[in-house]
A and B are shown apart, each in its own frame.
Chain A
């Protein structure tokens, strides 16, 4: 952390932020491709999310007559929040000049801000589906958030800091040891990841049935560039969550700040880990069925329980 304001550090920061924003749709494309393979369908191109974004940016935006400025503003807020999150999470390097500005609690807050704006915008238009989606999203969000915080706290206790960069540095440099607490936190984090990113046991990202939608119902009214920004923000969010998971539970290979030589290795390691994680997510989504909405609290209570257990076990066995 010594050369916090040095030029290479800032260069790393900018590079990483741009990299995440540009690479996020690729991850979404990869997951969709894996899902198609697993379900015996012919897979779409891995670049399809980029084509979709390009197509949406070229269309004319249609606004509902009663839309307030909030509705217009929300896609930019969502995109901005996710970009900010992408700047905080150590994806390629640990020494990020922006990172001290926000620790893990602020990171969860950034995600919460995005969620609140999305829900408000969905209610703004006044269509029944928007309100329904927003309420469901808030139900899931308020249950997922404590579980997420507990998971991050377990890692914070192990490394003695709530700074994500410090946590990753500590975890990447530890001696080999089995941490039961981290195993619990890992499972809890996976469950939160599925719930927060509207993935299958909680929500179906590809559904066309309005009555079962959660996230999709909220963004039904968006079109063209607004929809593109929302979709892009969703992709960045998934990317950010996956990289948080990787940073906490498999941080090996990440480059130290200012270490340009470590960068190719870091990119390669990240590519391998994300490829595996994306395939794993597709597998989970193929194997599981969507839960009834009223079972979502049970699912997230389990995640919370696992996270709390992880923290307790950390104190008990000091590891």
Chain B
């Protein structure tokens, strides 16, 4: 093994991140979904921290702290309150059954790995091999947004996608400039609040958070 210990730990965390992406894809309960999202944030923060330590990039410490504050604490807490208020703790309905979803997920992961292989050969960062995993978790979150019928899991899928993007940025180029990271973090936070408000509006309008009802809008 040529990679250093920190590289190995980052690889392990990347694998954990991918595992969590699959776990979210296969999860039926909204509450567990939020816990998994928080875990994903924690894995992301840990890997950012290790990359920061091994490369000496000071701004990565800051972005790791930001990740912990936002994605492990604040957003899961907001989502918790949201599902309590909306009273939607129960099972999530999926459009495709879960084994099929997971098989599609494997296909996506292979696609992402194949896509990232030439890019990571050119890159010179310690974390280059994790680019494929980052890409795969973005695609998996995207898949989750597609196969879920209710609004809350879709939003969690969106947030998980942002996690994947963030991880891709860390693994490809040691993170984005701090200003961009701050902007994205703020966007995500504001996005979550706006989604929260939308949830109430959607439910008020249709008595349900099923997105399918939105299709009826155009017929009026």
User: Which A residues are within 8 Å of any B CB, using their own CB?
Assistant: 175, 177-178, 180-181, 183-184, 297-298, 301-302, 305-306, 308-309, 312-313, 315-319
* Residues in B whose Cβ lies below 8 Å from that of A175: 1
Q: Are B132 and A305 in contact (CB under 8 A)?
A: no
> B166 at the A/B interface (Cβ < 8 Å)?
no
B contact face: mostly helix, strand, loop, or mixed: helix
A175 to B2, CA, bound (A): 11
Query: A180 touching B3 by the CB < 8 A rule?
Result: no
Q: Which residues of B contact A302 (CB under 8 A)?
A: 26, 102
User: Are A184 and B106 in touch, CB under 8 angstroms?
Assistant: no
A-B contact pairs, 20 of them (CB 8 A): A180-B14, A180-B15, A181-B15, A301-B98, A301-B102, A302-B26, A305-B103, A305-B106, A308-B106, A309-B15, A309-B18, A309-B19, A309-B22, A309-B109, A312-B110, A316-B113, A316-B117, A316-B129, A317-B14, A317-B15
**Do B11 and A317 have beta carbons less than 8 Å apart?**
yes
Q: Least Cβ distance of A201 to chain B in Å?
A: 15
Chain A binding site: helix, strand, loop or mixed by DSSP?
helix
Q: Are B130 and A317 in contact (CB-based, < 8 A)?
A: yes
Interface residues on B, range: 20 to 34
| Bound-state Cα–Cα, A309 to B18, Å | 9
Closest to B99 in A: A301
Residues of chain B with a CB closer than 8 A to A183's CB: 12, 15
B153 at the interface (CB under 8 A from A): no
B9 lies within 8 A of chain A by Cβ: yes
- The answer, among B19, B99, B102, for a CB contact under 8 Å with A184, is B19
Give the chain A neighbours of B8 by CB distance below 8 A: 177-178, 319
Q: Are B11 and A319 in contact (CB under 8 A)?
A: yes
In contact, A312 and B109 (Cβ under 8 angstroms): yes
B155 sits at the interface (CB 8 A): no
A184 to B22, CA, bound (A): 12
Q: Is the CB of B15 within 8 A of A298?
A: no
Contacts of A313 in B (CB 8 A): 11, 15, 18, 133
Provide the bound-state CA to CA distance between A301 and B106, in Å: 11
B105 touches A (CB below 8 Å):
yes
**Given A298-B99, A316-B129, A319-B1: A305 in contact with B11 (beta carbons within 8 A):** no
| Shortest Cβ gap from A309 to chain B (Å) | 7
Q: How far is A180 from B106 in the complex, measured between Cα atoms in Å?
A: 17
CB-based contact B113/A305 at 8 Å: no
Q: Which residues of chain A are near B1, meaning CB under 8 Å?
A: 175, 177, 319
Contact partners of A312 in chain B: CB under 8 A? 109-110, 113
Across the interface, which residues of A come within 8 angstroms of B14, CB to CB?
180, 317
> B97-119 vs A: 1/0 string, CB under 8 Å?
01100110110011001000100
